[in-house]
Structures are given as C-alpha cells and as structure tokens.
Structure 1
Amino acid sequence: MTSAKKCALVSVYDKKGLNILAKSLIDSDYTILSTGGTRSYLEENGIKSLDISEYTGQKELFSGRLKTLHPKVFGGILYDRKDPTHQDEKNNSDFLTIDLVVVNFYPFEKEAVEKKLSPSDAIHFIDIGGPSLLRAAAKNWQYCLSIIDPKDYEDVIEQIKKPTIDNDFSIKLATKVFQKVSQYDTLIANYFGSQTKDSSVSNPLPDSINLQLQKKRTLKYGENPHQIAAVYEPMSASSCKLQFSQHQGQDLSYNNYLDLESGIQLIRDLNPNPSLVILKHTNPCGVSYRKSNVIELFNQAFESDPISAFGGIIITNQEIDGETAQHISKTFFECIASPSFTSEALEIFKKKKRLRILTVADLNKKPATTISQSLKSSLDHYLVQTSPFGVIPMSEWKTVSEKKTPFEKKEELLFAMTVAKHLKSNAIVISKEGRTIGLGAGQMSRIDACQIAIDKAKKNAAGIDGSVMASDAFFPFRDCLDLAAQNGICAVVQPGGSKKDSDSIAACNEHRISMEFSNYRYFKH
C-alpha cells in the first residue's frame, strides 16, 4: 500500500490518544479532514484541520444526521488508484485522495442499551456515517488505512513514517473494522429485537440469534490434553457475566469452568438457604443446606460421598472461615468458590499452591425468573432451548399415594428434587435432614441409578431409614419404588407421566410410603 497525496479523515467520539495521532499525521504531511466535535477538539490542541462541510460545500443537515455521506468523501476513499477509468473519473472530479480514515462510533450500548432507552430515543445513538466510512476504507484496504481502535494508534504512527504502509498491517486493521462494525450492528439488532412483540414470553426463540464473542483467555487444554480450548465472553458489556476474582492457584481449566457452572446453578436454586455443594465432572457428589455454620455444611456434604469428593470442587454461598479451611485442607480439591474468605482461611489455603481459590460476587443471587436460552453445538447445527429456571414449588405438586406426605418431608423432597435437577440423567437423589446421603447419576437405566444411590446411602452415617427419594424423570416400572421401600425410604417425588404410573402408585400404597407428582421432568444430558 503506497501513499499519494496524503489526506486523513478523522471523526471520532472517543478522543483518547487522538491528539498524539493527529500531531503525527501533521508531522507526516497529512491534511486532516474532520467533523464538528472532532475539529473543535483538534483546534483546542493546536492542530489545524479542514472542516468536512467546507470541503464538500454541503453544510450538515437534519441535526447532524447527514454530514459525511457525500461523493467527495466516499469517492476519495473508494476509487482504485491503479484503475485507469477510476483515475480519469477522479481527475475530472474535485475531490481529494483520502489515504487514512480514523473513526469510532457513538456509544449505543452505554447510552441506549444500559440506560434502557425507548426505540425512539435510542436512535439518536445509532452511528450511520462512521460505519459507512470505515467499511469503505476497509474495502479499499490496498490504498486506504481504516482505523477504529485507539489501541492501534501507536502502530499507525510507526507505519505512516515509512515510505509504504505494510499490506499485512492494512489487512489486519480492515479485519478489525469489519468485526467491530458487525458487532455494532448486532448490538443494535439485538436491542431492537428485544423491543418487539416477538420478544415476549410467547416467542422466546427468535428466527435468528446473533452472537458476538471475544476471546478472554486461552486455556492450557480442553476437556482432554490433546484438545485446544479458550474462554470466550459476550462482547456486550451489558450481557450478564459472572464476576469473580482468583486469589491463588493455577489458571482455571476447561473442566473447572464446566463444574463451576453446574455448581453455581445448583447453589442459586437453593438460595437463600445456606448451602454447599461438592462436584465432580459437573455432577454433585455431596450437597448440604440449612445448617447453622459452614463447617457443618462442608462436613455433611463431604460425608455424602467422600471417595468421589476427592479432586472435586467446592461451591458455597457462605463465607469460608479458618476452621472450615482446616477441614477442607485434609482432602485434595481442585477449586473452592465462595462469596468471601476470612484472612485466616486464605492463609491456610496458601499452603496448597495449586488450589484455585475464587471469590464469586453473586453466589447469593436467586436464579433468573425470566426466560433465557441455553445453546449447544450439535454436528453442524446448534440446539437452542429455554433454560429450566428454578424448581417447581410444592404448592404445584400432587399427592398421588394414599399416605400423605408431612410438610417437613415435603421440604426434604423439594431439596432432593432441586439436587436431582442438576445431576446427569438418569438421576436418583436420596436425602435426609437437609443433606444428600446417596446420589445415582448418569445411568442408562433408572433402576441402576436407584441401586447406586441406595448403596451409597447405606454407607452414610445418617442412615437410610426415614430418608426421602427424588427422581429427575418418571419411573417406567415399580421396581425403584419396591427397592426404596425395602430400604426404609418413606417419601418419593417424581414428575409422573409414565403409562405405568398406576403400578408405581400401587407399590407406594402397598408399602405405605407417600409419593408426590411434581409434573415437571428434569432430564440433563
């Protein structure tokens, strides 16, 4: 890319670093074209520029909506310097060759989205000329440098000092322009889409979904060492992002992120009750809630399955103190997340240098009550569904057995069903006195999940007698109910919906155990 007559068009909202860039342009013999606010800023810094309206001979119209959209501007950007026809047309026209365009946009997200402006007010922050100028410059990258990011000014200053500007550099900036323009348009499209009737609860899955993601960090590897992986986050600052700070330990791994997501969702479903979960491979292996202190929460969750807990992660909505840290330190864990840690706890954990310690700001947050989407890649498609927020309250359950479930047992069943929602299917949860004592997850048959949960519960110090059982989906046969009764389980909750529900109900009546239908299934794959 070579320079002929040197001319730069500058029109920016964010003026950070502009004075340094503009002075360098003047030093490199560039004429600067600028618009109202930018020109005033340049003059205040002692930098001369030519007003765009003076250059085009057309004053700004419609309260500034029309100022740069003019053939003398776009002709100077777009014409092909090596095309004879273009050259003739340019020579027969009265416009400058524009070699460099510096533009950034009105802050639509900050001024319109975050302030929740109405569509009629939001339009005042939609940039028209800026994206058009940059797209034109980026299209003609061989002859015109397109600059949207102030972070690139320093490199631009070095490039304009050279006889020719490097083509790779120009392509790099053009690529950034197309990315930023796309992100800007997506932000606006998503905003307007959220304002229409189609965005209501009646249509939570729109005809198109626009995702703009930016790499946050590269991970050591993916799910396995031979896979490469990275963390991406939404470009939009207004998107909900998990806020956390890491005090110590290795960088979070791909599997850590997956476990954290599963655990935080479970903790939020248990809020505002004091709760603690230990997870392994996204499955809870021990959960405790409604205990008077965090050490009791940990001990009871750990006792649920101390073997599986080894190498897992801990998430709680309570502050972790020194005494609890001492107990936790007796076993190897990958990661611990909490709203806060005492200074004593942090000192104790420092002895385990690889242990990741995270403060997560909104662990006490309740689950969303508005419809949201979950997305997964599948072959060459994406599967999108609404997320299953919360757990169906007991008031919507139906007692289907002859024996009624006492209120305190219903509360225990609600806890068990909340945990079952977050286990891989097929899932069975056995709980007692506000803690899990047996978990069976990820089995191809429900009876196997039930047997695993019962076997684990029998080893628990709390004892299986008088416990309750939750199933993430209906029982296809009565075998799980027979097995539950034989082992002292006194109450069951399941969604119902099997053709053989009557057999399961009959089993409960025969064994004198109570059963609730929640009418909601919680498959998780």
Structure 2
Amino acid sequence: MTIKRALISVSEKNGVIDFAKKLQALNIEIISTGGTQKVLTEAGIKTLSIDSVTGFPEILDGRVKTLHPKIHGGLLGKTELTSHLEMMDEHKIKPIDLICVNLYPFKETLMKENVTSSEIIENIDIGGPSMLRSGSKNFERVTVVVDSTDYDSVIDEIKKNGNTTLKLRKKLAAKAFRHTASYDATIADYLTKEAQEETIETLTLSYELKQTLRYGENNHQKAQFYRSNFLTNYSLVNSDQRHGKELSFNNIRDADACLKILREYQEPTAVAVKHMNPCGIGSGKDINEAFQKAYEGDPISIFGGILALNQEVDLELAEKLSKLFLEIIIAPKFSKDAFSLLSQKKNLRLLELQMTDNSIETELEYQSVLGGILVQEIDSIKEDETSWKVVTKRQPSEEELHALRFAYRAVKHVKSNGIVIANSQQTVGIGAGQMNRVGSVQIALNQAKDKLEGAVLASDAFFPMADSLEILGENGIRAVIQPGGSIKDQESIDMANKYGMTMIFTGVRHFKH
C-alpha cells in the first residue's frame, strides 16, 4: 500500500514548504486549510481546499472546517475491511494516508502580554487534536506527523518503500497522543486557575524534555530533565550555560536549591550549597563582600559545591573563585575578563541567569512517592513581623533583630531538623537533617566555633525540650527565633530567661524534608 493522499494543516510552518514539495514530487495529493494552503500555494504547490473535499464551507469564523465525515472517515477508515471500503465508496470518502498537523499556539498566546481571555479561548484548537487522534488511532494505515523534526525520516521511508513502516507509524502515533495530551493539560491548567479550583480530582501535568542526563543520582540510574511550559523566576531551566560539561542530576537539584535560597535576598548576596543544604550565605555592600562572607561561613564545605550570586561576577571576584574547586557558578552575568579566567577551568560549569525579579509566586511543587505524587504550594509565605512575639524578658536590639531576620530567611531552606547560626550578613553555622534538634544545634555550634560573638540562632521548628536552649546559653547565643508551639514552650522560655537571652516566636514553621 502506498501513500496517495495527505492533509497538511499547521500553525508552526517551519519546514512545511520543503516537506510539501517532497510529497508532491512523490505524486501525493495534498489537502490543505486556510493559512497553510495560502503559504503552500504561494510556494507553487498545488493543493485541494478542505471545502472542495467536504463539499461544505468553513463556518463560525473558521471554528468548524475539518470536523466532517469526509475528513475523519478518510482517516479512520480501515481499508483492509471490505465493509469499510464499501461504506466509504457509498459516501464518496477517499482515504487520507498521511496528516501533518500541529496546533493553534495556545501556550504562546497565554504568555503574551495584555492578552485577553477571548483571545486565549480562540486559540484552543478543536479540529487539529481531533484529526490527530483519528489518524493516530488508525496508525496501522495512517502516518501522523506533529513535529517538523520528523519530516525527513517520513520522506526517506516513503521514497524507499512508497509508505512509512509500521514501526515508524506507531512511534509517530505515540508522539501525537503525547502532543495532544500536553496541549490539553495546558488548557486544563489555565481553566482550573481561572475557575479558582484548588483541589482537583485529576492531576494533569505537562513538561517538555530539556535534556537527557548522563545518569541520575547514581551512575546506574537513567534520568531526564524536563521543563515546565511556563517561565518561573530564578528557574534553572531558563539559564544559559556558557561553559563546562553537561549538568548532572545532582548538579541540577543542588543548583535549584541554591537559586531558591538566593531569591530570598534582594541585597548583593552569594549562596553556596552542598547536597541541597546551604553551607554558606553572605550579603554585603557589593557582590565581592557578599561572596567573602559566604565563603568564611564555611570554607571547608564549599569545596565541590554550587555557588549562586545575584550580581555580575567581575575579574576581582573571578580571581578568588578560580582558586576554589566549585562544580557550578551561577550569576546574572560574567564580565569578559571574569569569563576568560574562569573558563580556563575545564570542568567548571558557568551559567548565566537573569535575576531581575525575585518575587515569589504561589507555585506548586511535586514530590514522587511509590505509586503516587504529593503536591503542595512552595513555602513562599511572606513573614508578618507584626505577629512575631518576643516571649522573653529581654527585647532584641535592632542589630539582633536584623540578624534574626537574615537567619530566619535562611533556615527555611535547611533540611529538618534545621538550625542556622548567623550574624546580620552571613551564616556562620548550619545544622541540617539530624534526627533530633539537639544534634543539629551541636553541629551548627561546632561549625561556628569562634564566630559566635553577636551571633543569633534560627530554628525551623519549635524546641521540644529546653535542652537545646541550655546548650545555646552555655555557648553565648543571646538571641533566638523559632516558631513556638511546643507543649513545653514555657520551659524553653524559662531557660532563655536564665541566660539573659531574647527569643521570638513567629508562629510559622518551616519544615523541609
């Protein structure tokens, strides 16, 4: 069986003229619609109009043109069945052997500035997905093309065999169903948000492949990196990798954690991350000072880590960074001299990412579990300091309050049980991921060592016992911020008062598992 008839109707017209010319050269009759037919006709390609095939005009401003039995019968008819052939002959329906269809630009329309709701709705394609589904259901006979990157392989097989192989048709049908599923998921997401629905009975997600990774967490695990259909501030998927080998699975997770922390800070700030926990956060009057503070916060753990900075990297800073072993450096820009110096390190990945807007939207995050998926809003709550309560006898000084704010912004990104010891511009001790809070406190104190003077402490959740406060008091910590809420809060308050500490309850917990 050879391909005799094709239907072409595309919104994205890249490569379609060349594809149609090659089909025509193979003596394949081409049916086309509206804008596509105009483009093909202007290129000297002979086509049949949809209405000349259906005998029915386009109606309702083009909303109905391909939704017709002579189109869908031509796609769905099983020509190996005598009963189908007889019925198609009775109704003068000719088989359509190949369709080349892509859909109205719904996502692109949605992302336009000042777009109206009616314009968005008009870019919901109906006829296109219907044809793709009809053709894909009948993949044993029909070749379905939704992606211009498949044009050449389709032409090559037709030239060789007069038709495409069943193997290719099955592959293209699967791609077409993925295409329509993604398209529908994007529409569903838009309408769900418009309807202000929060809990939905079916979760539909659509992500596009960004790259196939060398491996996952370990080199025996396969992995891919997909990107959302929509832009997100401070997202790694929007970065431009200027230098270095491909990002690994673990690189991507660490870099993502780094950027989530960085967007908490508006002042010049540097964030170093290791195994998805911050090992140093520093702010300063300029990015050089900010990096120095982040580095001094933990000069050991930064080795082999990920560094993100929210200001341009100049030559002065690049000279400092070139002396360290870092996996990745992310910044809005590298000066010419800075890039020239840093790119001499073959394995160092340099990424540029615009960081002009650090507003944190209400975004959802997803965590897989065996057989399911968890969905929650990201921890983007805006702290209301008017609800903070000083629960001790001593009030915090302005300097302590500034340091407590800095530490509390950091601790929400530390794996629970999370503890951060900091001054007003840098972290000096971080305890993360311990099975009890005392353990995290001791790790943070041990790391801070001789940097405890004037330092404050933030805890991601309440202290269940007074033991941590006693250890802090003995080590000279005089200001603490925590959510509160333990049945033994009073014991912690009494212990803080014993050591002359000031302690704030925020009422907001920041667990990070």
Which TM-score bucket, shorter chain as reference?
A: over 0.9
Q: Deviations over 1:196-255 (max 9, x none)?
A: 132xxxx3x433321112221122222122222221112x25566542122222221211
- 2:194 maps to what in 1? 195
Q: Distance in 1 between matches of 2:254 and 2:359?
A: 17
Distance 1:455 1:112, change over 3 A: closer
- Residue 301 of structure 2 is aligned with which of 308, 317, 325? 308
Q: 1:50 is matched by which residue type in structure 2?
A: L
Q: 1:273 is matched by which residue type in structure 2?
A: E
2:340 corresponds to 1:347: yes
- 1:403 maps to what in 2? 394
CA contact (8 A) 1:269 1:390 kept: no
CA contact (8 A) 1:421 1:523 kept: yes
- 2:204 maps to what in 1? 210
Distance 1:491 1:10, change over 3 A: same
Q: 1:256 is matched by which residue type in structure 2?
A: N
Q: Distance in 2 between matches of 1:11 and 1:251?
A: 37
Q: Which structure 2 residue ranges, 5 or more long, are not aligned?
A: none
CA contact (8 A) 2:421 2:427 kept: yes
2:448 corresponds to 1:457: yes
Q: Distance in 1 between matches of 2:77 and 2:63?
A: 25
SS of structure 2 residue aligned to 1:217? strand
Q: 2:429 is matched by which residue type in structure 1?
A: G
- 1:3 maps to what in 2? 2
Q: Distance in 2 between matches of 1:142 and 1:336?
A: 50
Displacement of 1:376 after TM fit?
A: 0.3
SS of structure 2 residue aligned to 1:334? strand
- 1:297 maps to what in 2? 290
Q: Distance in 1 between matches of 2:250 and 2:462?
A: 30
Q: 2:493 is matched by which residue type in structure 1?
A: I
CA contact (8 A) 1:367 1:390 kept: no
Displacement of 1:519 after TM fit?
A: 0.8
Q: Distance in 1 between matches of 2:362 and 2:110?
A: 22
Normalised TM-score (structure 1): 0.92
- 1:259 maps to what in 2? 254
Displacement of 1:118 after TM fit?
A: 4.5
Distance 1:480 1:117, change over 3 A: same
- 2:385 maps to what in 1? 394
The alignment-based identity, stated in percent, is 39
Q: Distance in 1 between matches of 2:113 and 2:495?
A: 58
Normalised TM-score (structure 2): 0.94
Displacement of 1:113 after TM fit?
A: 4.8
Distance 1:387 1:41, change over 3 A: same
- 1:57 maps to what in 2? 55
CA contact (8 A) 1:376 1:384 kept: yes
2:376 corresponds to 1:377: no
Q: 2:398 is matched by which residue type in structure 1?
A: F
Displacement of 1:300 after TM fit?
A: 2.3
Q: Distance in 1 between matches of 2:201 and 2:117?
A: 20
Distance 1:513 1:220, change over 3 A: same
2:510 corresponds to 1:519: no
SS of structure 1 residue aligned to 2:374? strand
Q: 1:522 is matched by which residue type in structure 2?
A: H
Greater shift, 92-101 or 423-432, is seen at 92-101
- Residue 91 of structure 2 is aligned with which of 93, 100, 104? 93
2:312 corresponds to 1:324: no
2:184 corresponds to 1:185: yes
Q: Deviations over 1:467-518 (max 9, x none)?
A: 2111111011111111111111111111000000011111111211111001
Greater shift, 257-266 or 150-159, is seen at 150-159
SS of structure 1 residue aligned to 2:263? helix
CA contact (8 A) 1:468 1:489 kept: yes
Q: Distance in 1 between matches of 2:267 and 2:232?
A: 27
- Residue 445 of structure 1 is aligned with which of 417, 433, 436? 436
Q: Deviations over 1:117-153 (max 9, x none)?
A: 4444433222222211221111111222212222222
CA contact (8 A) 2:406 2:424 kept: no
2:276 corresponds to 1:288: no
Counterpart mapping for 1:46-85 below 5 A: 46-85=44-83
- Residue 278 of structure 1 is aligned with which of 272, 281, 291? 272
- 1:472 maps to what in 2? 460
Q: Distance in 2 between matches of 1:167 and 1:36?
A: 31
Q: 2:192 is matched by which residue type in structure 1?
A: G
- 2:106 maps to what in 1? 108
Q: Distance in 1 between matches of 2:12 and 2:297?
A: 56
Q: 2:255 is matched by which residue type in structure 1?
A: L
- 1:431 maps to what in 2? 422
CA contact (8 A) 1:247 1:358 kept: yes
CA contact (8 A) 1:426 1:446 kept: yes
Counterpart mapping for 1:88-167 below 5 A: 88-115=86-113, 117-161=115-159, 162-167=161-166
Paired residues, what number? 510
Q: Distance in 2 between matches of 1:16 and 1:320?
A: 38
SS of structure 1 residue aligned to 2:264? helix
CA contact (8 A) 2:328 2:351 kept: yes
Distance 1:121 1:382, change over 3 A: same
- 1:333 maps to what in 2? 326
CA contact (8 A) 1:119 1:195 kept: no
- Residue 352 of structure 2 is aligned with which of 344, 348, 359? 359
SS of structure 1 residue aligned to 2:24? helix
Distance 1:414 1:58, change over 3 A: same
Greater shift, 36-45 or 111-120, is seen at 111-120
SS of structure 2 residue aligned to 1:451? helix
CA contact (8 A) 2:420 2:429 kept: yes
Displacement of 1:446 after TM fit?
A: 0.8
Distance 1:390 1:302, change over 3 A: farther
CA contact (8 A) 1:287 1:436 kept: yes
Displacement of 1:56 after TM fit?
A: 2.1
